[in-house]
Amino acid sequence: MQKTNNILYVSFLSVVAALGGFLFGYDTAVISGTVSQVSAQFQLSTLQSGWYVG
């Protein structure tokens, strides 16, 4: 019984970690896609654009 619980727990942690990585990558892609438009709209300098991206 203990071995089954460990496998389920490790599987759950793996799914959560994979989902977190996917969401981080998606967020990075969305922000990267908006940099040129936001920089042009608000006339951001290179430093300000860097702060925007984070």
Residue 46: C-alpha distances to residues 11, 16, 30, 42 (Å): 43, 36, 19, 12
Tens of pLDDT, residues 1-51: 678 889 999 999 999 999 999 999 999 889 888 998 999 999 999 999 889
pLDDT number for residue 4: 83
Report whether pLDDT(54) > 80: no
Half-sphere exposure of 20 (CA within 13 A, CB side): 6
Dist. CA 21–CA 49, nearest whole Å = 24
Residue type, 16: V
Q: What is the pLDDT of residue 1?
A: 67
